[in-house]
């Protein structure tokens, strides 16, 4: 992961969603989704699952969040 991907990932974890992360980082929600998709392709696994329209962190995402913090 590059620095921007970590920044976006951390913002999503802190705010609980792509919209909140977009607001926090002053970018559009589609920009956040694009970075998360890049992360998924690069890492080979999903960091978030979409459940009832919300992003729910996977166990891998929770472990990564501890490392990033």
Per the listing, tokens 């969040």 go with: 65
The answer to whether the CB of 45 falls within 8 A of the CB of 35 is no
Tell me the torsion sign for CA atoms 62, 53, 12, 42.
Answer: positive
pLDDT at 54: 87
Read off the pLDDT of each residue in 16-20 and give the average, rounded to a whole number: 94
Q: What 8-state DSSP symbol labels residue 38?
A: H
What pLDDT is recorded for position 30?
A: 97
Predicted TM-score (pTM) of the model is 0.91
Task: Read off the pLDDT band of 3 (50, 70, 90).
Answer: very high
What is the pLDDT averaged over residues 23-50?
Answer: 96
Looking at every residue in the chain, the average pLDDT score rounds to 95
């Amino acid at each position: 992961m590059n620095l921007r991907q970590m920044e976006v990932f951390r913002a999503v974890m802190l705010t609980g969603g792509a919209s909140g992360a977009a607001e926090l980082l002053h970018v559009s929600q589609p920009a956040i989704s694009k970075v998360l998709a890049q992360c998924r392709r690069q890492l080979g696994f999903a960091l978030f699952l979409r459940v009832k329209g919300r992003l729910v962190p996977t166990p891998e995402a929770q472990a990564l969040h501890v490392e990033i913090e």
